[in-house]
Structure 1
Amino acid sequence: MCADMKPANSTTWRTLQNIVSTPTNLVVEGGREVPLTTAANHLVSFFKKKAVKHPEAKEPQAPPRPTSMFRAITRQELVDALRYIKCHRACGPDDVYNEALVHLPKVARTALLRMFNRSLSRGIVPREWKRGTIVPFLKPGKPAGKVESYRPITLTSTMAKLMERIIHGRLRHLVTSENQAGFRAGMSATDVLMWLRAQVQPTSASKTPRTSAVFVDFSRAFDSVDHDLLLQRLQKLNVDPHLAHWTLNFLTDRQVRVRMGHRHYSRTEVFTCGVPQGTVLGPLLFNIFMEDLTADLNRSGALHYFYADDLTIVARGRDLELVLKQALDMLSHWPRTHFMDVNVGKTNVCHFRSRRDAPVLRYRSMELENVETPKLLGVTFSKHRGFGHHTKSMKNKSLKTLIKLSAVSNTLLGASRDAIRCFHLALVSSSMQYACPAWFGIASDTDLDTMDSVQAHGASLACGLPATTNTYDSLLEANVPSVSEKAKYLTFKAFLLSSLRGGPRAANVARCFPPSSEIGKLHTEITAAYGSVEPLADAPTLNHRIIIRPWTLEAVTKEMDDAVKKKVSGEAVAHRHPADHEVWTDGSYIEDTSSVAGAALIFKKGRATKQSLSVERGARAFAHNAWLYMPAYVALSPTSASTVVSVS
């Protein structure tokens, strides 16, 4: 069986997952194992208790029937939503798979679009779309015998998810805060971790002020979202009444049941609070709900960053104790009005690089635990400089996985060499390289050597080499890069991307990687061959991609004249920032003059203007457009006839 394991086979990964993962199909009650159906009933009762409306919360009042003009869902919105559907995913209670929706013929898509518009115009969600099946996932490091150790992930109707994706496209522009990185395009957990590193990392220019951070853990955050307050928030943001009415109906009277194994189900329960985890719209609604807290914390003067429901508050300088107390006082008031609790037992504080007696911080008269190795989003920081604790935890985790992986790596009867190598890269190497921009440059050479030795151990396992084989030889034989080299590449890539995006993220990477650092020196060395590499000072920076609301543009149909189609297309392009244009070139350049020819098509107020370009010192940037994404970073020196200030 092991010899037939292939990375491209889904059965192989399911078998490997059963070997590597911890069993999660048993719930122990009173020291004894219970049947799966009984366990499912225990879990659904526990999840329902978490999603019960607060006694002081008001019942959501259905908004009045919308009188504004209904903005129908366009066929293009449906096509865009179908394009983002992922196949080979689990179906919901209706047993409709994504593959069926992707391959719908034109007539069926028209009928589906008509049904979506009818649902949105009336603000009514079909009952089948509000049914869900909860698949409990064991939280990392939690005992499988306790019901509170499981995270509820809901499987819902695939047609409901398709409709949610369309609604998501019309609501996502409401989340504008730079302090939320969870569930947002172009942002990830690495942004939060690099932000924290930038705050606590000492600078050589001057004496670094004292820095303290509070890591806040919310209890039942997604399950505590009050529907009435969420509706008020949507109305405050002037959301289309049809969208607000549909969203409230989508969240009301949701019926769920828990599935254990493949065919053991619990009884059906009705949830009256919260946003369902596992849906497309749930995370966005949660971010919208938390925008009020972000605004309150900004007024307190404390720096903070969200990743979904993980909140980190940072204060620096002499008044950090006062600033953190004000932030905690504001944080204690907000849950009372929004019916969301803070788990004080899991909320802790760390005073970085402080050798004096740490100030005592309290939340509602309860003292917060002072820790020296706080853990945020899977990365363990240290009170003092270094990442030794994170390295140790990654080593222990990786070695446990390698021990389990050795069960299928016999040189005679085990899986093939390429298969084991693929398993190692997916299960071990990727976990060690996780969020490497947050620790690369701070981790010591000893830490890097430790992770490289674990990488070499996995490489030796894949190739069937003796355990005493040299680290370099093992990596070379398996064609696997060392963790230090891969982390350096990924960190440099993140450095360039964050620098291009500008704003707070560019400031964070500039602080994390000054010119004297290894990444800073590498950047200087590479960009020296490109002439002028100063940032584009004249062009405003776009932190996020421009989102054009589809209902603000005139709908285009195939019956329209070409002139009308061209006009509407020009208006769509004009929504982009006037300083952001595309330049086309064949990549050729003149060696003697170091110049290159290009052309740009610029839309201004719906009218197209053609311009020819002759760019000095930009030839190599065009010709070597695949080398470390440098064309997007090089500041070109256009001639007097050119007004283009950015290159894509």
Structure 2
Amino acid sequence: MIVFLCVCMCVIPTAAFDTVNHQILLSTLRKMGISGTALQWLNSYLSDRSFRVSWRGEVSKSQQLATGVPQGSVLGPLLFSIYMTSLGSVIQKHGFSYHCYADDTQLYFSFQPDDPTVVARISACLSDISSWMNDHHLQLNLTKTELLVVPANPSFHHNFSIQLGSSTITPSRTARNLGVVMDHQLSFTDHIATTTRSCRFALYNIRKIRPFLSEQATQLLVQALVLSRLDYCNALLAGLPACTIKPLQLIQNAAARVVFNEPKTAHVTPLLIRLHWLPVAARIKFKVLMLAYKTTTGTAPTYLNSLVQSYAPSRSLRSASERRLVVPSQRGSKSLSRTFSWTAPSWWNDLPISIRTAESLLIFKKHLKTHLFRLHLTN
């Protein structure tokens, strides 16, 4: 039995961008091949920055900023990501895989449940990360460091803790990963509940001002504040039972009624058709299939490209030109049906060949939405 362990670590977000050492950053850029005028531009961008504080009509004297990158700028997050690149070798040295997004870092690895070295490996890795951050003028926020154990067998019970300095880290039932609430069973019920609450609050506020809004303005507000939340990382919900994602569908139904100022009892399908909104289940499928198309063209992220394989028949067959994907066997693994490596090829191969062989992402997107719209709303 394999147990999957996800360790999420975050540096203090309010100080991370502000404590970047300029000399270390410029040295890192130089090692990456940036030199001459380009390096001078970046040096100029970072240096001679100052700030003032305005309070009740009074303005303080200017103070020099000797460290940090502007967080609200276009270059800020990119420069910070470059600043963090050498952390990868520290993490990989301990046998961990990792993903970094600006100041948010996730570590993960799998292990056997009876492996006696797990605690020592995690502790050593966290200790080295803490040392690396100290050397780079950053601080590891242990209060926001979360440890999530995802067992392959739900009956498996873990009981261990990680000691780092005076702090103790124990496995938690949920962990927030870039706005997604992940639970130890990967059921995403907590994430759906959180999304539902935030959408309900947004709809409540829109309803209060609905009498003063036009239909078009209401639709724009709903799409920006509600549908954007329903669509965020919704590919993770692929394969979940209809009853699990039903709360999200109820939110979309309520949103459609708000747009047209209809009562709660109004039939929602005609409203979705008028808005040209795909239902929640179809939106999930739409997102997965968009990513699947990108894997067939090699434009998806590397970690997704490695999860799917193009179908190549051993003999010269007509299906060789149909752009099909290999569907892995589910033998011995019930949970495989919820993974991208299974849902993407399965749903992809079910598409009409005219959609699978679309010449561009834009054409594919247009035809896919029309196909799903007919399948879920007009049939």
TM-score, with normalisation over the residues of structure 2? 0.77
- Find the counterpart in structure 2 of residue 257 from structure 1: 52
- Find the counterpart in structure 2 of residue 248 from structure 1: 43
Q: 1:499 to 1:369 in 2, by over 3 A?
A: farther
Equivalences for 1:346-495 in 2 at 5 Å? 346-353=144-151, 355-410=156-211, 414-441=212-239, 443-476=240-273, 478-495=275-292
**8 A contact 2:308–2:345 mirrored in 1:** no
- Find the counterpart in structure 2 of residue 576 from structure 1: none
The DSSP-based 3-state class of the residue aligned with 1:340 is coil
Cα-to-partner distance string for 1:205-240 (whole Å, 9 max, x where unaligned)? xx5x11111111102211111122223323434431
2:15 maps to 1:218 = no
* Structure-2 separation of matches of 1:304 and 1:495: 23
Query: Cα distance, 1:342 vs. partner?
Result: 0.5
Query: Cα distance, 1:367 vs. partner?
Result: 0.9
2:148 maps to 1:341 = no
Two-structure CA RMSD over aligned residues (Å): 3.0
- Find the counterpart in structure 1 of residue 123 from structure 2: 325
Query: Cα distance, 1:403 vs. partner?
Result: 0.9
2:97 maps to 1:303 = yes
Q: 1:265 to 1:454 in 2, by over 3 A?
A: farther
* Structure-1 separation of matches of 2:247 and 2:31: 53
**8 A contact 1:347–1:369 mirrored in 2:** no
* Structure-2 separation of matches of 1:300 and 1:395: 39
Query: Cα distance, 1:329 vs. partner?
Result: 2.6
The DSSP-based 3-state class of the residue aligned with 1:342 is coil
The DSSP-based 3-state class of the residue aligned with 1:480 is coil
The DSSP-based 3-state class of the residue aligned with 2:144 is coil
- Find the counterpart in structure 1 of residue 351 from structure 2: 526
Query: Cα distance, 1:244 vs. partner?
Result: 3.2
2:87 maps to 1:293 = yes
Q: 1:418 to 1:336 in 2, by over 3 A?
A: closer
Q: 1:312 to 1:622 in 2, by over 3 A?
A: closer
**8 A contact 2:293–2:361 mirrored in 1:** no
The DSSP-based 3-state class of the residue aligned with 2:363 is coil
Query: Cα distance, 1:258 vs. partner?
Result: 4.4
The DSSP-based 3-state class of the residue aligned with 1:381 is strand
* Structure-2 separation of matches of 1:409 and 1:288: 45
2:340 maps to 1:513 = yes
Letter in structure 2 aligned against 1:402: L
- Find the counterpart in structure 2 of residue 274 from structure 1: 68
Query: Cα distance, 1:438 vs. partner?
Result: 2.4
The DSSP-based 3-state class of the residue aligned with 1:454 is helix
Equivalences for 1:562-601 in 2 at 5 Å? none
Letter in structure 1 aligned against 2:79: L
Letter in structure 2 aligned against 1:382: D
Q: 1:246 to 1:474 in 2, by over 3 A?
A: closer
Query: Cα distance, 1:479 vs. partner?
Result: 4.1
Letter in structure 2 aligned against 1:309: D
**8 A contact 1:348–1:370 mirrored in 2:** yes
Equivalences for 1:42-57 in 2 at 5 Å? none
Cα-to-partner distance string for 1:284-320 (whole Å, 9 max, x where unaligned)? 3222211111122122210110011100000102254
**8 A contact 1:440–1:488 mirrored in 2:** yes
Q: 1:273 to 1:526 in 2, by over 3 A?
A: same
Query: Cα distance, 1:468 vs. partner?
Result: 1.8
Q: 1:629 to 1:303 in 2, by over 3 A?
A: farther
**Structure 1: segments with no counterpart, 5+ residues:** 1-206, 534-619, 631-648
**8 A contact 2:202–2:225 mirrored in 1:** yes
**Structure 2: segments with no counterpart, 5+ residues:** 310-335, 368-379
* Structure-2 separation of matches of 1:444 and 1:493: 21
**8 A contact 2:10–2:103 mirrored in 1:** yes
**8 A contact 2:160–2:170 mirrored in 1:** no
Q: Which has the higher mean CA deviation after the structures are superposed, 461-470 or 313-322? A: 313-322
Query: Cα distance, 1:421 vs. partner?
Result: 1.9
* Structure-1 separation of matches of 2:241 and 2:197: 18
Letter in structure 1 aligned against 2:363: A
Cα-to-partner distance string for 1:380-399 (whole Å, 9 max, x where unaligned)? 11111311111111111111
Query: Cα distance, 1:520 vs. partner?
Result: 3.0
2:29 maps to 1:228 = no
Query: Cα distance, 1:369 vs. partner?
Result: 4.0
* Structure-2 separation of matches of 1:377 and 1:436: 13
Query: Cα distance, 1:265 vs. partner?
Result: 5.2
* Structure-1 separation of matches of 2:41 and 2:3: 49
Equivalences for 1:62-141 in 2 at 5 Å? none
* Structure-1 separation of matches of 2:358 and 2:296: 17
**8 A contact 2:307–2:341 mirrored in 1:** no
Query: Cα distance, 1:433 vs. partner?
Result: 0.9
Letter in structure 2 aligned against 1:505: L
Letter in structure 2 aligned against 1:453: L
Cα-to-partner distance string for 1:578-609 (whole Å, 9 max, x where unaligned)? xxxxxxxxxxxxxxxxxxxxxxxxxxxxxxxx
Letter in structure 2 aligned against 1:626: I
The DSSP-based 3-state class of the residue aligned with 1:485 is helix
* Structure-2 separation of matches of 1:272 and 1:425: 42
**8 A contact 1:315–1:323 mirrored in 2:** no
Letter in structure 2 aligned against 1:272: A
**8 A contact 1:259–1:266 mirrored in 2:** yes
The DSSP-based 3-state class of the residue aligned with 1:213 is strand
TM-score, with normalisation over the residues of structure 1? 0.47
Cα-to-partner distance string for 1:97-127 (whole Å, 9 max, x where unaligned)? xxxxxxxxxxxxxxxxxxxxxxxxxxxxxxx
Q: 1:298 to 1:406 in 2, by over 3 A?
A: same
Cα-to-partner distance string for 1:149-168 (whole Å, 9 max, x where unaligned)? xxxxxxxxxxxxxxxxxxxx
Letter in structure 2 aligned against 1:255: S
The DSSP-based 3-state class of the residue aligned with 2:99 is strand
Q: 1:420 to 1:211 in 2, by over 3 A?
A: same
